[in-house]
Structures are given as structure tokens and as C-alpha cells.
A and B are shown apart, each in its own frame.
Chain A
Amino acid sequence: MVEWSDAERSAIAAVWGKLNLDEVGPQALGRVLIVYPWTQRYFGTFGDLSNAAAILGNPKVANHGKVVLGALDKAVKNLDNIKGTYANLSQLHCEKLNVDPDNFRLLADCLTIVIATKFGAAFPPQVQATWQKLMAVVVAALTSRYF
């Protein structure tokens, strides 16, 4: 089981509490589709993804960004059982959606960057380390049902 210190728990709660999920979700997903264009292959039904402006203005991308951050909320609220919390989601991503698990890390990276752009100096190294630990645990949990 993953150990979280009190400092880590409060750092995560502090970061999460300051995030507008409806804003950050779309931005993070948009960045993934722009910076790592092969990820667009998973969103064939989303319509126009032909350039950065189209992606950032695409309502399906925005909606799906919110869905993803909503799911991340479950991890933040269940730090002591992220693996169990994500068992079904892991199966879904592997067996139905056939998502290469490398892509989870790419989305985690883009979310971290969005947070850095918003928080500036309020995202010091120790907080970054804690946040990336959470991202790594989430990615591992989402990958846990792959075989």
C-alpha cells in the first residue's frame, strides 16, 4: 500500500482545493492532443482536431477533460485505496478503450504543467514531488488491470 505522510496529504489537498476542475481538465487534455498528436487516435469521434485552436475550442475535448478530472477527484478523496478505486476504470481503459498505458503518463505530465502555469512560485519543488508521486500512483493504478 502507498504510504502518504501528513505533509503529502495536506499538500495534495491544498493543490486540489485551488484547482478549478472544469478549467484545468480541458486545458490538460487539450495540451496532450496538441503536444503528443498521436493521442488524437483515441478521439476519432470528437470532430475537428486539426490544429491547436480547433482542439482548444472543441466542446467534446472540453467535456472529456472535465470527465477525466472528475475521475481524478476520486483518487484525491481515496488516497489510501487508489488501486481499488480505479480497478474498473483500469479494466475499461485496457479492454474497451485499448489505451496504451504510456499515455496516462503523458496526460499526468500535461496536468502537472497546467498546474505549474497557474501556481507559479506556489508550486515549489517539494509540492511538485508530492504531486508527481500522486500522478505516478494514479498511473500505476490505471495500468494495474492490463496484462
Chain B
Amino acid sequence: MVEWTDFERATIQDIFSKMDYESVGHNALARCLVVYPWTQRYFGNFGNLYNAAAIMGNPKVAAHGVVVLHGLDRAVKNMDNIKATYAELSVLHSEKLHVDPDNFRLLADCLTIVVASRLGTGFTADVQAAFQKFLAVVGAALTKQYH
């Protein structure tokens, strides 16, 4: 089971309680599609993803970014049982969506950059460490049901 220090728990709760899920979710997913273009293969029915402007302005990208952040919210609210919380989501991503689990890390990296750019100096090294640990645990939980 993952051990969380008080600082780590407080940091994760603090970041997410102040977060604008719509904006951050949209931004993180859009960045993923721009910076790692092969990820666009999972969104064939999203319409225009031809360039950064199209991706940023695409309403399906925006909507799906919010879906992803709300999924992340479940881990925030169940930090002591992320693996079980994500068991079904893991099966979904592996068996239905066929998402290469490397992509969880890419999205996590983009989310980290969005949060860093919003928090500025408030995104200290300790906060970064806690946030990246949280996202690593989430990635591992989402990869758990792959075989």
C-alpha cells in the first residue's frame, strides 16, 4: 500500500481543491495532443486536430479533458486505495480503449506542466515531488489490469 506523508496528503488536496478542472483538464489534454502528436490516434472521432490552434479550440478535446480530471478526482478522494478505485478504469483503458500505458505518463507530465505554470513559485520542489508521486501512483493503478 502506498504511504502518504501528511505533507503529501495536504499538498494533493490543496492543489486539487483550488484547481479549475475545466481549464486545467482542457489544457493538459490539448498539450498532450500537441506535444506528443501520436496520442491523437486515440481520438479519431474528435474532428479537427490538425494544428495546435485547432486542438486548443476543439470542444471535444475540452470536454474530454474535464472527464479525465474528474476521473483523477476519484484518486484524490481515495488516496489510500487508488489501485482498487481504478480497477474498472484500468480494464476499460486496456481492453476497450487499447491505450498504451506509456501515454499515462505523458498526460501526467503535461498535467504537471499546466499545474506548474498556474502555481508559479508555489510549485516548489517538495510540491512537485508530491504531485509527481501522486501521478505515478495513478499511472501504476491504471496499468495494473493490463496483461
By a beta-carbon cutoff of 8 Å, the part of chain A in contact with chain B is 30-31, 34-35, 52, 55-56, 109-110, 112-113, 116-121, 123-126, 128-129, 132
Once the chains bind, are B123 and A125 in contact (CB under 8 Å)? no
Residues of chain A within 8 A (CB-CB) of B55 are 125
- Closest B residue to A35 by beta carbon equals B129
- On whether A125 and B31 interact (CB within 8 A), knowing A34-B125, A113-B112, the answer reads yes
- List of 8 A-B pairs having minimum Cβ-Cβ separation, nearest first: A125-B34, A116-B116, A34-B125, A116-B117, A129-B35, A126-B52, A35-B129, A125-B31
Residues of chain B within 8 A (CB-CB) of A35 are 125, 128-129, 132
Once the chains bind, are B128 and A31 in contact (CB under 8 Å)? yes
Given contacts A116-B117, A125-B55, A128-B113, list 8 more A-B pairs with CB under 8 A: A34-B125, A52-B126, A116-B116, A117-B119, A120-B120, A123-B117, A125-B31, A125-B34
Once the chains bind, are A113 and B116 in contact (CB under 8 Å)? yes
Complex CA distance for A118 and B109, rounded to whole angstroms? 17
- Closest A residue to B112 by beta carbon equals A113
Complex CA distance for A126 and B123, rounded to whole angstroms? 22
Residue from B55, B56, B116 with most neighbouring chain A CB atoms (10 Å) = B116
Chain B interfacial residues counted at CB < 8 A: 25
- Closest A residue to B119 by beta carbon equals A117
B10 CB, nearest partner CB in chain A, Å: 15
By a beta-carbon cutoff of 8 Å, the part of chain B in contact with chain A is 27, 30-31, 34-35, 52, 55-56, 109, 112-114, 116-121, 123-126, 128-129, 132
Complex CA distance for A116 and B119, rounded to whole angstroms? 9
B19 CB, nearest partner CB in chain A, Å: 15
Complex CA distance for A55 and B125, rounded to whole angstroms? 10
Once the chains bind, are A117 and B120 in contact (CB under 8 Å)? yes
Contact of A113 among B35, B56, B126, B128 (CB under 8 A): B128
B70 CB, nearest partner CB in chain A, Å: 22
